[in-house]
Every structure is written in C-alpha cells, then in structure tokens.
A and B are shown apart, each in its own frame.
Chain A
Amino acid sequence: MKRFGANTANDDVSLKVMPGEIHALLGENGAGKSTLVKILYGALQPNEGEILWKGQPVVIGSPAEARALGIGMVFQHFSLFEALTVAENIALALPKDADRRGLSATIARVSRDYGLPLDPTSRIADLSVGERQRVEIVRCLLQNPQLVIMDEPTSVLTPQEADQLFETLKRLASEGCAILYISHRLEEVRAICHHATIMRRAKVVAETDPTTETVGTLARLMVGNEVDAVTRTKGVPGAPRLTLAGLDMPALGAFGVPLRAIDLEVRAGEIVAIAGVAGNGQSELFDAVSGERTGRDGAVVIDGRPVGHQGVNERRRLGAAFVPEERLGHGAVPALKLSENVVLTRHGTGEGIASGGFTRFGLAGRIVEAVTKRFDVRKGPADPEARALSGGNLQKFVVGREVDRTPGVLVVAQPTWGVDAGAAAVIRQALIDLARSGSAVLVISQDLDEIFEIADRIAVISRGHLSVPKAAEAMTREEIGLLMAGGAEKR
C-alpha cells in the first residue's frame, strides 16, 4: 500500500509474477501502475505490506538494491545521458567493481545475441529513439536480471521495431526471466503476454489470461464501464481550407529535422491525420503550419489566403486554431489561471476578449466554464492555475479551448496523449463533429489506433518527408509501418 498525503495510489495490491512469464500490468493513467513499479524498483517505499522475492521477504531501499537483487527496469521516459556514450551509460548502471575495460566487448556480444545491434562508442544524442531503447534494454540485460520491468516500451517504436522487441522479450522469457510488461496497447498485450493484472483507481480489479479475452473485454475491465464508441459519419469533403504547397523549412539546431517539399491539402469536412515516429519532423511541421516559424508566403494557405510569412495571430484571425503537443509550457502557461490561458490564444481573434487595450476576463471565465462542461475537465476551484490540473484534464482543456471557437482550420498534435480512454473518446468525437460541421482538421499523432478511428485520409511523415495522403480505408498498418521506416522518402 502506498499513500501520498490523502491520496492512496496503491491500495492493498497483490501481484505475483512467475519466472518465464510475460505478465501484463494494465490500467488507465493514474490507476497506480507507475507507483507500484516504483515500489518494486526501490524508488518508493510502501507504507504497508511486503514484497516477497523468490519466496523471501525483502525490503528494497533503493534502485541499486533492486538491481543487486536482480530486478531490472526499462523506463518509459528514457533515463539515458545524452552527452555520454553507450558504454558510459551502461557502465553507470553496473556495480562499482564491474570491469570497465571489457565492457565494450560485452555490450557488443549481448546486443548481438539478442538481436539489438549497438555501437558502444556512439553518443546517445546521435541515436534514434528505437536505438535508445535498445541501450536501455542491453543495460538492463547486462545486470543478469531475473525480473525485467518494462514501462510502455512500444509507445515510441514503429510497428516493425515493436515486433523486434517482442522477439527479444519472448527469448528472454524462454530463458526463465520474468517480465512485468506495462502497456496501454491491448492488442500487443493479447499477442505476447501470458497473464494480465488489471488495476483501476489504485486497486487490482481483475486477473486474467489475456489470450482468452478480447480487446473490448480488456478495455472494459480497465475503464470499469463501457467506453463510448466514437461514431463517425461519412463526411463530404468540400473546398480546401488548409493547403501546404512545397513547404520547406531548414532544421533548427543539431537535432532538428528539415522539412522537405511538403504538399498537403486539408478540405472542409475532413480529418487528415499525419502518422510517424516521434522526432521525424512533426514538431517542425506544426511550427510551420501554426506560424511559430514563418517562411515563403505561398507555402501555407488558409482559406485561399497565403499566410506563409505571417505569424500565429494573423493565422488565428483567419479562423485557424492550433493545439501543440506539449500542453504545459507550450499549450498553456503553467503559472497562469485557465481564464488567462484562454486570453492568450484568443486576444487577437477579434472575438472581443481584448479590445481597446483592456481584457474582458468575465468573458474568458465563461469560456472556461463552457469548456469545462463540454469536455468534463475535472478541477478543484473554478479557475485554477494551469499547472494544478492533471495531464489528462489539462489536455481536455487545451483541446476544448480551441474546439470551442469552432475554428475553420484546426491543427492538433497528439490530441489524446496521456488522457484516459473515456476522455479520449470525448476529444475524438469533438474533432469528428468539428470536421463534419465544415472545418478542416489536421491531426498529428503517433497513435495508430487513434488515427484509424478518426481520420478520413492518412499521410506519414518520415525524416521531414510527407507521403501522399491516402484514404484511411485503403491504408493498412503494415503500409504505414513501411512508410514510417523511410518509405515516404522514395517517391
């Protein structure tokens, strides 16, 4: 049991993982999975209860003690040191007396054995996300773990990279290693896990064999009630409202991605989704469309008006709205109230929030109320600071704030990133309804399930190239996977 102040994050949780088993831990955001994992890895101490390791009660006081016991962890947000080499990163996680001279050879051998090719001398900053995860896994394997904890390992991988990871996991399990696998993705849990423990609101609500369940039954166990299915009516696309024509943008900084000759048309009434693995130019594309970076005038056209070298406010005034990926710090100012955050995206749109140098906070407050009601934003006080909201609730607010304007063009990055299934359905439905009311919606997302659920047409971005968008019905996951891996460049 673990309590944080008045909140109980883990309440009388029992979990048993057997050797050679891939055990899934399922639950929505905030269900208590991360807390449980942190306790197992020694980063947090339980208030009550005990941990039995190979039948013996143990106290895991620190991550180092966990590693000494044989518990390894692959983190969701990588815990790598970007300025250091692969070998140095791995050395840091090994015990003090480990042999550093032979390390490079050991890394090369283990990475080859498990099909995870790595060069020990390369710097982390130069590696792709998939390669970084390999470093994490190899680092974990070198400690000869008997239990490996993986926190959402596939959320950053292409489908092909994920398949490769599953092979590695199956091989590990066949050697007798236990694997605790945390994921939102029910399909892959069904495909590779032998056993599943499902948590909801800090409690274990079910234990099951995922291979005998369907995605639907697993989702019901996680959420506790039927998730409203998103209803998608067939839309009739009208005239183009957002057009990108030969959009080029040089890379910004050493790790930026240049945009190369991007052509795209988003018509009234449709949702176009851009799939791709993180870091392939999505943020650059968002900046170029939103006007955070400007360029040639004709490269971006909104409702027939070339706006390529106009800024964010000019584009908003033409009826466009933008929801960036990073909600805290980019989509909302953490220390400002929600109403003040409303003013920040509406002050220049001519809706009367700001006029004559004065701000009408009453109106902003009413907008907060309307968004709160429509998107079920849960918050304590009526108008709290943005940072006081949980990630999912803030996401609902940030998306809701723009949808509430009924913009003619909506560009949204990762619309449901980090929100639970119920709220995700609300947001997706809102995007569909907005499109059907005659707006053009461009969604940049890494979640293929989401893309297939809402998109009318799908394009894939890879290293700054955008593939030709195709009707969603004509696209398969395999095709998208190939395009993600660079197929978009060969056209």
Chain B
Amino acid sequence: MGEILENSKISSRQAVFLMVTMIFATVILSVPAITVKHARQDAWISVGLATVAGLLIARLVTTLGLRFPERTLFEYPAEILGRWPGKLVGFFYIIWFLHINAGVIREYGEFLVTAFRPAPPLIVFNLMAVAIAAYTVRNGLEVFTRANEIFFPLTMGLIVITSIFASGETDIQRLLPVADVDAVSIFKGAMVPLAWFGEIVTIALVIPYLNRPRESHRAAVTSVLISGVVFMLVVANAIGIFGPDLIEAMVFPGLNKYRIVNLANFLGRFEALAMTAWVTAGFVKISIFYWATLLGVSQVLELKDYRSLVLPVGGVLMAMSMLDHPSALHLQHFEAQVFPFFALTFEAAIPLLLLITALVRGKGERLG
C-alpha cells in the first residue's frame, strides 16, 4: 500500500539524522528561555527529565508502529479502531501536523525578522521556506532525507562548534546551587522540551520506508538521546554564560550566546553561522512536517499520489503560518503555555490509547 504512494527507502542512520534535525531545528532557539523561566539554573535537569520521558515516547511510538510495519500512523488507526474512527484519528493528525508546521514556519520567519531585522516583511521569508520545502517534498522522502544527510554535519557541527567557542565566557558556577527550585518547577520546565522531543512520533510515518524497520526502536531512541544530550549541553552552556536571570528574559538565548563569542580579538559575530545552521535545519523540519501532511491527506483519503496536493497544502501552510499567531509574542505564549498539551496529546496520549486498544483487540503482529 505504501509503495504506491511513496517508494522511498531510507536507512536507519538517515532516519536518525532526520529526526535529530527535526527536533533540534527549533528547540535550540526559544525553548531554553521557557525552561529556565521555570527551573532557573536547574533547567538542565529539566532537559534531562524531558529526555528520559522522550525516550519512553520513542519506545511507545515504535512499539505501536512495529505492530504494523507496513503501515503508517495514518493507516493503522483504521485497523485498530475500525475504518471511520480510524480515519477521524488520521484526520486529527493531519490538522496537528499542519498546525505545528505553521508554527515552525512562523518561528523560522520571526527569528530572521527579529534577530536580523532585514527590510523584507515576514511573509517573504515564510514564502521562501514553504516554496523550497514544496519543491523538496514533491520529490519524496528519500530526497530530503539525503539532502539532510549532507546538511546534518553542517548544522549540528555549527551548533556544537559555536558552543565550544562560546565556552570561554562560561562560568560553571552559575549552574550552582543544584536543585535550587522545587521539584514542581523542574517538572514544569521539562514540559516544553518534552513536547519537542515528543516530535519523535513522526518516526511512525517513516517506519514503513526504513530498509530495516526492526531497527526503528534503536533509531528513535538514538535520535531522542542525541537531541537530549546535546540540548542539555546547550542549555547548561547558555546558563553558564548569561545566568538564569538574563536567559529567562531573552527571546532567543541560543542566538545571544553566539553574539558574544570573541576569539583572539578578531574572530567574532558568530550569529551568522547560527543563522546558517538554523535556516538549514528549519528548512528540513518544515519539509518533514509538510511531507507528513501530504502523506496523511493522501492516505486518509486513499489517494494514489500526493504530488497534486503539494500546492494546495503549501497554500494552506502559508496562510496558517501568517494567521495562526498575530504576533511573535502570541507565538511565544503559545509555545510556553499551550503547545506542550497540544503536542503531547498527539505525541503520547493518542499513540498510547492506540497501543492499548491494539493489544486488547489483538491487532497487528508482534515484531519488536
């Protein structure tokens, strides 16, 4: 069934690269501020907790997916719940992917407009992102997966290298005292990064296209682990540089970090590199969710080809990216207050219910 629509085959390593880029593209910019607001200098503990919870979600999603190794998250709800309830679940997922992608596109544009204040209006950046992503997804999963394989060392390398450069300004004492805030605050701080790590649910769409689906457990867990550990270092690094007081007031602490880098008094202003990493990774992330939406629509509606959907869905994405949030402030509020619940419903709650129902009804095979 999957073969007709999408005949890509990707390796486990490519899947890991794809998932890490997807998680990291947006988590690095605004999430540190939200987490630090709750957990202060213990934000890295929050990220650690979120990583552990993210690993559980990864395990949950792949366990569910491997019961139906030939099918995606848009298809097996129909097998588990029956045709129409299953289609309804698939429909909700389409809406979800549209919304989070609209948010990503908006943040992509807002970041460029806020931090670099160019003359063109926001819509130009959003349009460029969607247009490039449209061309990419039209060529299928394999194409942007391979493209990402080239980008990955660039994006992650830049993030890691610039963090090392910035470490000259780091004072490790700013991470002390440990456990200064109460446990509740640390858990609150973990919610938002968890919502990001939970995006690993997207692997449920990729499992049928893996050349070794059985490796999806390991791929998903590795992806969350890499994202979690690197993000923890990024957050600890940022706290070491700015201290919790300044970070919680910042919009993009991940960016400010690179602005103060000064190597040997002549190498500085690394934010251009940060922007390169962000624009590349953001483009990959937009492509993934764009592709997910296309796949979802065609599988739920049982179409044979999704290429005719590229333009209409792109138009919807454009409109939603401009209309979902009236301002960057609204987007930040949404990310901090609403997104964790919105995201985790689809990342954890629905997959869990599906898995329980599948177990009770004895649907699917036992593979993993």
The judgment on whether A and B are partners is no
